[in-house]
C-alpha cells in the first residue's frame, strides 16, 4: 500500500528503531504490584520495573475499595455498556457520577463521555462553528486541536503559555462570531500550569469564552483537588471544564462540566457523545469509588504528591538533568531528536525504569522528550532510582 511521504517517514522511523533494537513503545505489562508504581514487563521480565509513566497521580490504583466499586457495578449491570447513553446505556451509576462531577467542580451540570479525548472533541465541535474563532495554546493536547478543527471554526495558535501573544490575537479578531480560548490546565507536554489568571483576565476583557481541560489536574491540584483553575483561584471565571477519569481517578471516561443549557445541548447534539457508548458501568463504579477516596484522603495524598514531585524536580536539576518548566507532578526532560529519545527510553526500561517518551506529533518536531508522572505511591527510593538512571542514560547515550 502506498502512503504519503509524511506517513512513510513514520514507518521508516519504526523500522529504524526495530533494527537498532531501541523500539521504545508498547512495553507489555505482565504483572502489576499493589500500586501501579511497580510492574513486570514481558521484555526481560525483571521485577520491579518502577513506573514513572502512569497518571495514577494519587496512587489510588490497586485500592481494594476502587476494585470493589468496579466489581459491584459489573454484578449489577454487566460488563458492557449495552448501548449509547441516550438509548439504554445510562444507568443510575452514570446519573450519580454526573451529579458528583458537577458538584465537585461547583457547576450546574455535567456529562460523561467514553474518553477525555471525546469530551474535548464533543464540546469544541458543538460549541464552535464556522463563524467562530478557537484560540489554542501551541502545546494543547491533540484532542483539543482535533475538536477545534472539526468545528469548522478558524483555529489560531498562540505561543505556549504566552498571554501577550494571546492578547494580540484577541485584539485582532473581533466580529460577530464567538471567540473561545482553550488550554490544558496542567500541560501534559511540559508539566507547567496554564497562565489562567492572565488568560481569564483577557477573556473577560474581550468577551471570549474559556475552556480548561483539567485532565492532568483534576483530583491532583487545587483545594479538594478541583484542578488547576481552582489552584490558581480562577475556577469561577472558567466557562467550561473538561477532563478525564483515566488519570488521578484511575478509571476511564471523560467529562464536561458547564451550565445546564450547554450540557443539555451536548447531551442532545454532540456526535462524540451520541454516536458512541458511554463509559461502561465498571469504569463508572470505579470512578465513584475513587471520588469517595478523594473526599477522605485527598488532602493527604495531594500533599505527598506535591512533596515527591518537588523532590524529583530538585534532584534532577541537582544531578544536571535539564527539565522543562514543570511546576507540578508532570516532569519532563527535553531530549530533542527522536532516535536519542527512543534509545534513552529503551535503556531506562531495560534498567528497571518506565517513563513515557513523547514524540511528534504529540510534541513539536525536534522536541521529543521524556515525561515522568509522579504519584503519591512513589517512595524516596523510587525518586533516587529515577534520578540516577536518567542522569546515567543522558551521559551515556550519545547526542
Ligand X SMILES: Cc1ncc(COP(=O)(O)O)c(C=O)c1O
Which residues are catalytically annotated?
A: 188, 216, 247
Q: Are 258 and 241 in contact (CB under 8 A)?
A: yes
Q: How far is the CB of 220 from ligand X (least distance, A)?
A: 13
Q: What is the DSSP string of 222-250?
A: SGGG--HHHHTT-GGG-SEEEEESSSTT-
Nearer to ligand X, 118 or 394 (CB): 118
Dihedral Cα 71, 76, 81, 87, nearest 10 deg: -160
Nearer to ligand X, 281 or 373 (CB): 373
Burial class (CB in 10 A: 0-12, 13-18, 19+), 308: buried
Give the C-alpha separation, 172 to 183, whole Å: 19
The CB-nearest residue to ligand X is 116
Burial class (CB in 10 A: 0-12, 13-18, 19+), 16: middle
Q: Are 202 and 172 in contact (CB under 8 A)?
A: no
Partners of residue 38 on adjacent β-strands = 50
Q: Output the nine-digit C-alpha cell for 215.
A: 485532565
Q: Are 193 and 231 in contact (CB under 8 A)?
A: yes
Q: How far is the CB of 256 from ligand X (least distance, A)?
A: 12
3-state secondary structure 168-182: HHHHCCCCCCCEEEE
List of long-range contacts for 376-379, beta carbons under 8 Å, 24+ apart: 376/57, 376/58, 376/59, 376/301, 376/302, 376/304, 376/305, 376/308, 377/35, 377/36, 377/37, 377/56, 377/59, 378/37, 378/52, 378/59, 378/308
Nearer to ligand X, 126 or 389 (CB): 126
Nearer to ligand X, 217 or 347 (CB): 217
Nearer to ligand X, 290 or 387 (CB): 290
Residues engaged in binding ligand X (CB under 6 A): 115-117, 120, 141, 143, 184, 188, 213, 215-216, 244, 246, 254
Q: How far is the CB of 265 from ligand X (least distance, A)?
A: 21
Q: Which parts of the chain fold into alpha helices (H)? A: 5-19, 64-77, 92-104, 116-127, 142-150, 163-171, 196-206, 228-231, 260-269, 271-274, 281-318, 338-350, 380-396
Nearer to ligand X, 184 or 190 (CB): 184
Nearer to ligand X, 59 or 243 (CB): 243
The label of the residue with cell 457523545 reads: 273
Amino acid at each position: 500500500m502506498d502512503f504519503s511521504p509524511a506517513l512513510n517517514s513514520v514507518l521508516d522511523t519504526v523500522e529504524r528503531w526495530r533494527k537498532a533494537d531501541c523500539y521504545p513503545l508498547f512495553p507489555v505489562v505482565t504483572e502489576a504490584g499493589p500500586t501501579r508504581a511497580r510492574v513486570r514487563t514481558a521484555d526481560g521480565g525483571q521485577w520491579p520495573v518502577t513506573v514513572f509513566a502512569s497518571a495514577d497521580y494519587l496512587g489510588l490504583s490497586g485500592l481494594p475499595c476502587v476494585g470493589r466499586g468496579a466489581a459491584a457495578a459489573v454484578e449489577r449491570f454487566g460488563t458492557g455498556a449495552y448501548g449509547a447513553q441516550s438509548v439504554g446505556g445510562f444507568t443510575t451509576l452514570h446519573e450519580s457520577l454526573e451529579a458528583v462531577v458537577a458538584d465537585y467542580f461547583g457547576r450546574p451540570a455535567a456529562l460523561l463521555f467514553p474518553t477525555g479525548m471525546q469530551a474535548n472533541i464533543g464540546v469544541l465541535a458543538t460549541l464552535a462553528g464556522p463563524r467562530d474563532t478557537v484560540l489554542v495554546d501551541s502545546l494543547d493536547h491533540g484532542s483539543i486541536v482535533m475538536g477545534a478543527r472539526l468545528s469548522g471554526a478558524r483555529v489560531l495558535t498562540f505561543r505556549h503559555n504566552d498571554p501577550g501573544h494571546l492578547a494580540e490575537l484577541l485584539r485582532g479578531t473581533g466580529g460577530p462570531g464567538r471567540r473561545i480560548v482553550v488550554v490544558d490546565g496542567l500541560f501534559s507536554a511540559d508539566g507547567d500550569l496554564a497562565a489562567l489568571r492572565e488568560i481569564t483576565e483577557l477573556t473577560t476583557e474581550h468577551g471570549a469564552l474559556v475552556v480548561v481541560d483539567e485532565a492532568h489536574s483534576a483530583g491532583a491540584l487545587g483545594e479538594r483537588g478541583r484542578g488547576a483553575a481552582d489552584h490558581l483561584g480562577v475556577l469561577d471565571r472558567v466557562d467550561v471544564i473538561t477532563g478525564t477519569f483515566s488519570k488521578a481517578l484511575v478509571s476511564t471516561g471523560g467529562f464536561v462540566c458547564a451550565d445546564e443549557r450547554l450540557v443539555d445541548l451536548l447531551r442532545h447534539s454532540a456526535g462524540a457523545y451520541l454516536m458512541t457508548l458511554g463509559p461502561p458501568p465498571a469504569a463508572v463504579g470505579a470512578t465513584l469509588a475513587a471520588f469517595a477516596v478523594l473526599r477522605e484522603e485527598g488532602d493527604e495524598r495531594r500533599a505527598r504528591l506535591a512533596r515527591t514531585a518537588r523532590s524529583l524536580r530538585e534532584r534532577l536539576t541537582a544531578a544536571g538533568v535539564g527539565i522543562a518548566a514543570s511546576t507540578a507532578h508532570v516532569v519532563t526532560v527535553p531530549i530533542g531528536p527522536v532516535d536519542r529519545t527512543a534509545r534513552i527510553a529503551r535503556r531506562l526500561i531495560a534498567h528497571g525504569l518506565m517513563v513515557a517518551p513523547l514524540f511528534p506529533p504529540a510534541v513539536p518536531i525536534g522536541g521529543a522528550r521524556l515525561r515522568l508522572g509522579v504519584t503519591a505511591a512513589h517512595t524516596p527510593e523510587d525518586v533516587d532510582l529515577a534520578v540516577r538512571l536518567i542522569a546515567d542514560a543522558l551521559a551515556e547515550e550519545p547526542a
